[in-house]
Structure 1
Amino acid sequence: MTHSLAVEELVNATSEELGTYLRSGALNTNALTRSLDYEGLDIEDWERIKRIHFCLADDVHDFISALSDRVRRIKTEHQRENIHTQGEVRGSINWSATLRTRSESGYADRSRFVCNTPYTEYDIAENRVLKRLLWQIHRTVTDELQSVEYDWRQEFWTDDQLASFDRLYKQNVHLSRIKEGPAISVSGQDMTTARQSRLPLYTEAYDLYDMFQRLQADTLDADITELLADTLVVPTDTPTLFELFCCFRLIRTLTRFTPGFVLKPIDGESNALAHLESDDTRIEIHHDSTGSLSFHEPLDTTHRPVHAQYARYHDALIDYSDTLEALTGDPSDPVLYNGRPDIIIEIYDTTSDERLDSVLLGEIKHSDATQTFKQGLEELLTYRRFASKDNYLIDKPDITLTSLLITNGVTTSGTSDEVIHLNGTDLIDSPATHSKHLDWIHSLSGLPATPSRA
């Protein structure tokens, strides 16, 4: 039995890779959002995802936990304002203003006063920073997280913690006297004042809001990438985490062993997770996406197969489609095949009108079970037969088609011309695994592969 990667190893390795790629700006964050696959969240908006991860950070959680005690000592300023009164005095009388007011009515009403009335001002720089920060946290945990009924959310925000923060934010007498978060505009001077405060409530609010602003602006400093790495991988289920680990390590392998290629930023229109470029070639890496390929095959209902067993299968698919529509009312065309590999790597010749030269289809199974290995192998070989771009790739001799199966602990003693099998441990960078790296890279249309950069 081959050694398999434990969850802790996956978390550490994936966190390290994620931070590296985010700092380099080489990941397509829209594609990354689709790849994360959190239970209970149906979000493909990177801005919303960043707010969620900010609220999952330990520093944010600690800040909110201490808030109920700290907010009792919230800072205010004592001000005075001129109040016009009738028949009563509030504070000290401003006689010069009072006489001017009475003169306007010919001194007919001596019950009119202008008073210097004291009041407590909550709208100060430090409180603006605090309330804006709390608003961002509150709207995120109530709109995005509160309805999530899965264990990973409870690990960060329990139901009691959510309810307690909601009451504090809405009902605290001090917080309610500060303007509502959406109406607050935090200036640079406000931030400076909060940063220089002697109260930890405000200096920590400054630190967190500064981090939030940099996160939203994609200013990926070390602390920002650490926050994203720490919170991005923890909520994901282990199979998805293993898939991300494999994606990141395949990208690393390509950048390390294919001379002349560098990672390039991706515009928002591409569905690739990352891509590399050389002077004449582009490599696109897709996860949880079919890329430019199709793996959908409608059933030909006009011709019933002659072979008896195939005819029965043909009829069963039509029966399924008709029965499903009868029971649910949803129209359903019969489908012979529909699938999607976990990883697709497409290689284009950019000197020849973006010609597709080579494709790698990858299936990933986070398992050391022989039966799961067999299932993955069957799925992968089926992808190989149905992968198409205008026509079936397997029928196009000018396109090199490579199939890669990655498991987490399955041992295979033989080799195959059709499929390359790797384990997760083979993707750990070490001299012992270099030959396996070079094997699958060489299979990609003869890409130049060399260990010189290792």
Structure 2
Amino acid sequence: MTRKLTADDLVDATTEELLTYLRTGALNTQALTHSLNYEGLDIEDWDRLKRIHFCLTDDVHNFITALPDRVRRIKTEHQREHLQTRGEIRGSINWGSTLRVQSETGYADRSQFVCNTPYTEYDIPENRVLKRLLWEIHRTVTKELQSIEYEWRRENWTDDQLTQFTRLYKQNVHLNRITDGQSISVSGKDMNAARRSRLSIYSDAYDLYDKYQRLQSDTFDPDITDLLAETLVIPTETPTLFELFCCFRIIRILDRRVPGFSLHPIDGQSNALAHLESDETRIEIYHDSTGNLSFHEPLNPEHRPTHPSFARYHDALTDYSNTLETLTGNSHDPVLYSGRPDLIIEIYDTTADDQLVSVLLGEIKHSNTTQTFKQGLEELLTYRQFANHDGYLIDDPDVTVTTLLITNGVTTSGESSTVTHLDGTDLLTPQSEQPHDWINLLTDPLANLNQA
């Protein structure tokens, strides 16, 4: 039995892999956020997730903590507006404009004046950057984080901090005189003014909002990578993280070892985690999904098997379906089999009308027990029998089907021509030291395709 990868091992490795692929824009971030299942967060989209990570950083926390003292010295500009009055004077009289107005009435009404009335202008470029930044932070912490009752949230934003920030944002007399943050569209001129300001509240606001904009536009500069690495992985279940770790490492192997391919972004119509493309071939990688395959086998109640044991199983499934509907009113078609592998890799020949030429089915078990190993092996071989794509794949001579079982801490001494077994630590081994047989398991179908 080998060393089992710990949660810390997986967090470190998965964060590194995740940031690598996010920089390329190759991963399906929508599928990714659902897979990670962040603790206490109902994640629906990638942009929302990035806003949450931004608000969890130390830089944002420190900025908001210092805000009450700094906002008292907020910058303003003293302006004068030309105000036409009757019977009163507000500020100094603008005699040129006053005489012009009075002359329009033939000097019949000498109670009209045009005054240079002073006022304080808060809506200046530096304040626009500040207010927009605070609006982005406020809407995120109040709508996304405030209702979360997990300890990690309180470590970053205590209840008192949330209350104090909300009160400051909504009630501070200076902030309230600036245009509403949601209505502000920050310009390059605004950003330059904040960047050049001698007041640290504005230069810091510039730094944070610039970082926020780059994060939202998926510009993964080193400081953005550091930001995500600090806060990105908060999984509820280590087994899910182990599955993603395995998927990421296999994607990297394909990316590095298969010549002529490159990782491509995925459109919103696909539930694939990632895909690679060359001029002639497309590789689709799926996690916790059936991909373009089917693993569902309905039971036909009218075709009862002749073998007595299979007939009894057929009858039991039919009785279950009928009894469930009788007791609950819920219809349920009897199903002989239904499953979903943890990993599917589909390889298509794009020069032949997207013909499926090779499939890898993977089962991943975050366990080092013999019983779980046996369970995973049984599940994997059942997937192999029932995998369907316009017919059973195992019966299709034009499609190569390979199977991969990955466990965490299990060592096997024998070899199988049907199933390749890997331990999670094998995926941590540097590329130059990895055994070539299981890498070839992924790349041989492509070599055969290119030779055809």
CA contact (8 A) 1:259 1:448 kept: no
Q: Which has the larger displacement, 112-121 or 4-13?
A: 112-121
Q: Which has the larger displacement, 254-263 or 125-134?
A: 254-263
Q: TM-score by structure 1 length?
A: 0.87
Structure 1 residues 112-261: aligned runs within 5 Å: 112-235=112-235, 237-261=237-261
CA contact (8 A) 1:34 1:288 kept: no
TM superposition shift of 1:193: 0.4
Q: CA, structure 1 residues 61+215, in 2 after alignment: closer, same or farther (shift >3 Å)?
A: same
CA contact (8 A) 2:298 2:336 kept: yes
Counterpart of 2:338?
A: 338
Q: Which has the larger displacement, 423-432 or 196-205?
A: 423-432
**Paired residue type of 2:173:** V
The SS at the match of 1:446 is helix
Counterpart of 1:35?
A: 35
CA contact (8 A) 2:38 2:234 kept: no
Q: Which has the larger displacement, 162-171 or 265-274?
A: 265-274
CA contact (8 A) 1:287 1:344 kept: yes
The SS at the match of 1:247 is helix
Q: CA, structure 1 residues 331+171, in 2 after alignment: closer, same or farther (shift >3 Å)?
A: farther
Counterpart of 1:358?
A: 358
Does residue 1:443 correspond to 2:437, yes or no?
no
The SS at the match of 1:270 is coil
- The 2-side partners of 1:278 and 1:87 are apart by 81
CA contact (8 A) 2:37 2:235 kept: no
The SS at the match of 1:414 is coil
- The 2-side partners of 1:209 and 1:340 are apart by 43
Q: CA, structure 1 residues 132+376, in 2 after alignment: closer, same or farther (shift >3 Å)?
A: same
Structure 1 residues 12-161: aligned runs within 5 Å: 12-102=12-102, 112-161=112-161
**Paired residue type of 1:430:** P
- The 1-side partners of 2:381 and 2:362 are apart by 10
- The 2-side partners of 1:344 and 1:190 are apart by 49
CA RMSD for the aligned pairs?
2.9
Counterpart of 2:405?
A: 405
CA contact (8 A) 1:358 1:445 kept: no
Q: CA, structure 1 residues 166+375, in 2 after alignment: closer, same or farther (shift >3 Å)?
A: farther
CA contact (8 A) 1:282 1:347 kept: yes
Counterpart of 2:426?
A: 426
**Paired residue type of 2:414:** G
User: How far does the alpha carbon of each residue in 1:22-50 deviate from its partner, in whole angstroms, 9 at most, with x for none?
Assistant: 22333233333343322444444333333
- The 1-side partners of 2:45 and 2:258 are apart by 33
**Paired residue type of 2:186:** V
Q: CA, structure 1 residues 105+277, in 2 after alignment: closer, same or farther (shift >3 Å)?
A: closer
User: How far does the alpha carbon of each residue in 1:269-310 deviate from its partner, in whole angstroms, 9 at most, with x for none?
Assistant: 433222234454332221232221112222323334455554
Counterpart of 2:394?
A: 394
**Paired residue type of 1:339:** G
CA contact (8 A) 2:347 2:357 kept: yes
Q: Which has the larger displacement, 215-224 or 257-266?
A: 257-266
The SS at the match of 2:302 is coil
Identity %: 73
TM superposition shift of 1:241: 2.0
Counterpart of 1:376?
A: 376
The SS at the match of 1:376 is helix
**Paired residue type of 1:144:** E
Q: CA, structure 1 residues 441+66, in 2 after alignment: closer, same or farther (shift >3 Å)?
A: same
Gaps of 5+ in 2: 448-452
CA contact (8 A) 2:254 2:443 kept: no
**Paired residue type of 2:180:** E
TM superposition shift of 1:401: 1.5
- The 1-side partners of 2:235 and 2:204 are apart by 26
Q: Which has the larger displacement, 25-34 or 362-371?
A: 25-34
Q: CA, structure 1 residues 171+3, in 2 after alignment: closer, same or farther (shift >3 Å)?
A: same
Counterpart of 1:452?
A: none
**Paired residue type of 1:185:** S
TM superposition shift of 1:426: 0.3
User: How far does the alpha carbon of each residue in 1:381-419 deviate from its partner, in whole angstroms, 9 at most, with x for none?
Assistant: 222222111112122233222121112212223333332
- The 2-side partners of 1:63 and 1:329 are apart by 58
Counterpart of 2:275?
A: 275
Q: CA, structure 1 residues 187+355, in 2 after alignment: closer, same or farther (shift >3 Å)?
A: same
Counterpart of 1:5?
A: 5
- The 1-side partners of 2:95 and 2:324 are apart by 86
- The 2-side partners of 1:223 and 1:422 are apart by 35
- The 2-side partners of 1:279 and 1:324 are apart by 52
- The 1-side partners of 2:363 and 2:115 are apart by 79
- The 1-side partners of 2:329 and 2:49 are apart by 35
Q: CA, structure 1 residues 237+112, in 2 after alignment: closer, same or farther (shift >3 Å)?
A: farther
**Paired residue type of 1:357:** V
TM superposition shift of 1:91: 3.0
TM superposition shift of 1:360: 1.0
CA contact (8 A) 2:258 2:443 kept: no
Q: CA, structure 1 residues 373+124, in 2 after alignment: closer, same or farther (shift >3 Å)?
A: same
Q: CA, structure 1 residues 127+373, in 2 after alignment: closer, same or farther (shift >3 Å)?
A: same
- The 2-side partners of 1:176 and 1:329 are apart by 58
The SS at the match of 1:228 is helix
CA contact (8 A) 2:235 2:241 kept: no
